[in-house]
Structure 1
Amino acid sequence: MLRVAVIGSGPSGVYTAQSLVEQEAVPDIEVYVLDRLPCPYGLVRYGVAPDHEKIKSLQNNLRTVLEHPRVHFLGNVEVGARGVSLEELRKIFHAVVFCVGAATDRHLGIPGEELPGSHPATEFVAWYSAHPDAPAEGFTLGARSAVVIGVGNVAVDVARMLSRGAAELATTDMPQGALGALADSCVEDVWMVGRRGPSQAKFTTKELRELGSLPGTQVRVRPEELALDPAYRDPAELPAPLRRNVEVLRGWAERPVAMAAGVGRLRRIHLRFFLRPAELLGDEATGVRAVRFERTVPDGRGGVTGTGEFEDIEGQLVLRSVGYRGLPQPGLPFDESTGTVPHAGGRVMRDEAPYPGVYVAGWIKRGPTGVIGTNRPCAKETAAALLADAAGLARRMPAGDPAAALERAGQRPVPWRGWLAIEAAEAEWGRGLGRGTVKLPDWEGLLTAARSVMVGR
C-alpha cells in the first residue's frame, strides 16, 4: 500500500487526493489529507464570502472525496518549524504533496501602510469567515468611509460585505460577532480603487454585477476615468470576460442606479480607476484618515505611469487587496521572485534534481492564479508525476499507523469524526441563535467540539 500525505485540505489538496485514489494504474494507494486547522475545505470554508452559497456548496463535492475509504482527513496537524518536519513526514509516508496555497498578502510598500485602521483584506475576510486565526478584537466598523485598494474578486467581496445589510446575512453561516458588527456599521461610503483601467481589472463580471443589486446601495463610476482606458470606447478586441466588465461599468457610468426608496442607511460604492496608492495619511494615535493616490495614465505597454497629480480619498478603514504570495516551507527550496516552490511537473526540484517523494500542487506550485476549478488539472499533473514514481517510492518502508506516528511527533490530530462533531456543534449553536448553521470562530470552541467524540480513542 503506497501511503501519501497531502498537506492542505482546500481544493488543490482534495483534488490531488481524488486524482490519486480514483485512478486504476496504481490501485494500492492510501491518502492522508493533513491540515493545520481542525476543519477541512481551506478557502472554500474560510475564503468564499458567506453570501455566495452556490460556491460554498462545493464543500459537498470535496466532502465526497474526503469520505472515500482510502482517504483520511487529519486536522490540527502543524507542518513546519512549529510542528512535524518534512523529514519526519518522509519517515511516515512514501510521498508528501504540499498544497499549502499562497498564505500571505502582498504589501503596498508605501508610507503609512501599518497605521491603525489599515489591514490586509484577507484579515477582514478571515474575520467575517470565522477563521480561528482572525484577530480576536475583530472589526468595530465605526468608520464612515472605507477604502479598498485593489480591483479583484476579493476586493469586490469586501466592498459587498461592507455594503450589504446584516439582515440579509443572518441566513448565512457568518459568525455572530461579525454579523453584529455589520449591523452596527457606520460605513456609508466604500471606495474600491485600482491603479489601472477597467479593461485590466481582475474581478469577474458576475461578482461585479452583484454590487449593483445591493438594496439601498448606489454604485458610482466616473465616465472620465473609464474614458482614459484605450479599450473603453471599443472593447470588441478584449477577451469576453473583460469586455463584459467594461460594458457593466459603462452602463453604471451612463445610467446611474436610482437609489431605492424606503430603505434604512444609504450606502455608496465608488469604483475608481487610474489611481495608484502613494501614502496613507494619519498618525499612530488616531489611525488612518485618508489615502493619497497619484493619478496614472496608460503607458501604451499595458502598464501605467504616474502623472505627478495627487488626490486624497477619506477613509478611516483601509483594506489592502493587491494580491497574494506564497511563503517558504521549511525543508523545501523556494523561489523568492515568484513566491513558489521550484518544480518540474509537480516534482519538487532541489539543486536542479527531483527531491525524491516530495511534490507540490496549487498556488504554491504555480502562483496565485486561476479560479477554484484551475486546481483540478494542476492536481492531476502532480498526481500523474507521483504515480509515475510509485514503483521507486514503494521501496521504502514507512512507520506504522500515521495518526499514531504524528502523535509521537507532538501532534494531536483531529480525524474526520472530530470534524463531524464540529459540524454538529455549529448547527446546534445556530439553532440556539435562531439562525441556521453558524460557524464557531475560535480554536477553543472548534477543538472542544472535535474532542468531545475523541475521548479514549
Structure 2
Amino acid sequence: MGPGGACWRGGGAGARRWLSSRASAPRVCVVGSGPAGFYTAQHLLKHHDLAQVDIYEKLPVPFGLVRFGVAPDHPEVKSYGAEDNRILGIPGENLPGVYSARAFVGWYNGLPENRDLNPDLSCETALILGHGNVALDIARILLSPLDLLRKTDITDCSLAALACSKVKRVWLAGRRGPLQVAFTIKELREMINLPGTQPVLNPADFTGLENAVKDAPRPRKRLTELMIKTALQKPGEMAAQAAAARQWGLKFQRSPQEVLPTADGRRARGVRMALTRLEGSGESAKAIPTGDVEELECGLVLSSIGYRSLPLDPAVPFDTQRGIIPNSMGRVEGAPGLYCSGWVKRGPTGVIITTMNDSFDTAQSVLEDLRGGMLDVSVSREGFGAVGSILRSRGVRPVSFSDWEKIDAAEVARGKAAGKPREKIVDPQEMLQLIGH
C-alpha cells in the first residue's frame, strides 16, 4: 500500500495493522508511514492511554508521499498516495515520450523507484491529460522559472533536466467541461500568475457559464468566474504575462483515443482526441464521444487521470474495479479486526485534510470496537519484538527512526550548502551506507 492508505488488524490507515493486547494494552501495527498511517496512529494514541503502535515502511525514509507526492514548491500540501496509476487503455500509451503523472511527480520529488525516469523534454509542446491539481502541478513545474525551482527541494538531476528543457507550451486536456474540472482555485490562480507565462483559454468554452454557476457552491462559482475572467483578458493585461515566452491552456471535452507515433515509430508525436458532448450537468455529467476527432501535436504526453491502490495481500479483500478495500467506516468487510484508511479506503480523492479526517474516523471505529469487546485482545503478542526477530533471522537490518534522523540531517546539510531546504538522497543504498548498514 502507498501512503494514501493503510489496512490493519485492530487499526486502519492504508497499510496493514494487526492488533493484539494484554486485555488493557492494545498493540497496533501500521504498515505504511504516509499521512493515513500517521494520523490514525495519532488518534489511537491520543484517545487510548495504553495503546502501543508500531509503524512499518518499506523505504528507508518515512512520510510516504508527504515527502514524494506533490510539487516541491508546495511543501505545505504534499499528500497524495496509492501505489499505482490508472492506465489510459489506448494504443500508443507505451511509446517513449508518454509518462504517468505518478512517475513524473516521483521523478522530480526524488522517489527512489522513479529516479532513473529520465523524461525526454526536448519537444516544445507537452500535453497533460487531466484537469486536477496534480496536472496543474506538473504544468507549473514544466514552465516555472528556474530561479523559483532552485529554492525548493526538487532533486538536482530534475533541476538539471528542466534547465535544458525545450518545453514552452503546455496543454491540459479533459473529457468534460469547465464545470467539472477537479483542480482548486488556489492552484489555478498560482498557474495564472506564473511569471513569464501566458494562460490561453478560449472564451467560447465559457459561453453561458456565468448564469449556470449562479446557484453553484461558492468554491465552484469562484473557480469558474476566475477561468472566465482569464479567458476574456487580452494578452499582456497581467503582470505575469509581460514578455511571456511560455504558454499554457485548458482544452475541454476531449478524450484521448490514441497516442500517435513518429514516422519511424520510435516516440510520440501527438494524440488523437475524440471530441465529446456532455450528458447531464454538474459533477455527474458524462462525456459522450460525438464522432468528431482532432489531432494535437506534442512530443511529451503526461497521463494525470488518477491514482489507484493495489491489492495488499491475497488474504485481504480488494475491489479491483474501484481500487479499494471494501469497508464500512474503515472496517474491512468480511474480516473482523481488519481496518483500512486513506485512499485504499475511499479511492484517490482529497488532500491532506481529507485524509486526516478520514483517518480519525477509522481510528474511531477501532476504539469503538475495542470498547465494545468486538476485538479479540485475550492473546498477548510481542509486536516489533517478534517482527525484529523474524527480520534478524532473514538477515534484514531495519532502519530505525533515529537512523532516519541521520538521513534527514544529511539531506538538510546538503540542501543548506546548495541554498535549498534539503537535497534528497534518491538512492536507497546510499541511505543505508550513510547510517552504517
What is the TM-score when the length of structure 2 is the normalising length? 0.86
Q: Which residue of 2 aligns with 1:270?
A: 249
In 2, are the aligned partners of 1:191 and 1:270 still within 8 Å (CA)? yes
In 2, are the aligned partners of 1:16 and 1:379 still within 8 Å (CA)? yes
Q: Which residue of 2 aligns with 1:210?
A: 190
In 1, are the aligned partners of 2:279 and 2:287 still within 8 Å (CA)? yes
Q: Which residue of 2 aligns with 1:294?
A: 274
Displacement of 1:214: 1.0
- After superposition, residues 26-425 of structure 1 pair within 5 angstroms as 26-55=48-77, 101-227=81-207, 231-258=209-236, 266-283=245-262, 285-300=265-280, 302-330=285-313, 331-350=315-334, 355-390=335-370, 392-399=375-382, 401-402=385-386, 404-408=388-392, 410=394, 411-425=396-410
The gaps in structure 2 that reach 5 residues or longer are 1-24
- After superposition, residues 442-453 of structure 1 pair within 5 angstroms as 442-449=427-434, 451-452=435-436
Q: Which residue of 2 aligns with 1:16?
A: 40
Give the number of aligned pairs: 402
Displacement of 1:412: 2.9
Query: 3-state DSSP class of the match of 1:142?
Result: coil
Find the aligned partners of 1:339 and 1:130 in 2 and give their Cα distance: 25
In 1, are the aligned partners of 2:271 and 2:297 still within 8 Å (CA)? yes
Q: Which residue of 2 aligns with 1:92?
A: none
Find the aligned partners of 1:139 and 1:408 in 2 and give their Cα distance: 39
Find the aligned partners of 1:369 and 1:167 in 2 and give their Cα distance: 32
Displacement of 1:434: 4.6
Find the aligned partners of 1:288 and 1:169 in 2 and give their Cα distance: 27
Q: Relative to structure 2, which stretch is displaced further, 385-394 or 245-254?
A: 385-394
Displacement of 1:264: 8.5
1:113-168 superposed Cα distances (whole Å, 9 cap, x missing partner):
11111110111100010001104142241121110000000001001000101211
User: Judging changes above 3 Å, is the alpha-carbon distance between structure 1 residues 262 and 221 closer, same or farther for their aligned structure 2 residues?
Assistant: closer
The gaps in structure 1 that reach 5 residues or longer are 59-99
In 2, are the aligned partners of 1:399 and 1:405 still within 8 Å (CA)? no
Q: Which residue of 1 aligns with 2:11?
A: none
Displacement of 1:299: 1.9
Code of the residue aligned with 1:12 in structure 2: it is A
Displacement of 1:169: 0.8
Q: Which residue of 2 aligns with 1:429?
A: 414
Q: Identity, % of aligned pairs?
A: 40
Query: 3-state DSSP class of the match of 1:5?
Result: strand
Query: 3-state DSSP class of the match of 2:40?
Result: helix
Code of the residue aligned with 1:143 in structure 2: it is C
Code of the residue aligned with 1:279 in structure 2: it is E
User: Judging changes above 3 Å, is the alpha-carbon distance between structure 1 residues 205 and 27 closer, same or farther for their aligned structure 2 residues?
Assistant: same
In 1, are the aligned partners of 2:115 and 2:426 still within 8 Å (CA)? no
In 2, are the aligned partners of 1:166 and 1:180 still within 8 Å (CA)? no
Query: 3-state DSSP class of the match of 1:396?
Result: coil
Displacement of 1:433: 3.3
Q: Relative to structure 2, which stretch is displaced further, 293-302 or 143-152?
A: 293-302
Find the aligned partners of 2:366 and 2:54 in 1 and give their Cα distance: 15
In 1, are the aligned partners of 2:318 and 2:326 still within 8 Å (CA)? yes
Find the aligned partners of 2:363 and 2:280 in 1 and give their Cα distance: 42
In 2, are the aligned partners of 1:220 and 1:253 still within 8 Å (CA)? yes
In 1, are the aligned partners of 2:104 and 2:117 still within 8 Å (CA)? no
1:163-219 superposed Cα distances (whole Å, 9 cap, x missing partner):
101211111111100011111110011011111111100000000111111111000
Find the aligned partners of 2:54 and 2:280 in 1 and give their Cα distance: 50
What is the TM-score when the length of structure 1 is the normalising length? 0.83
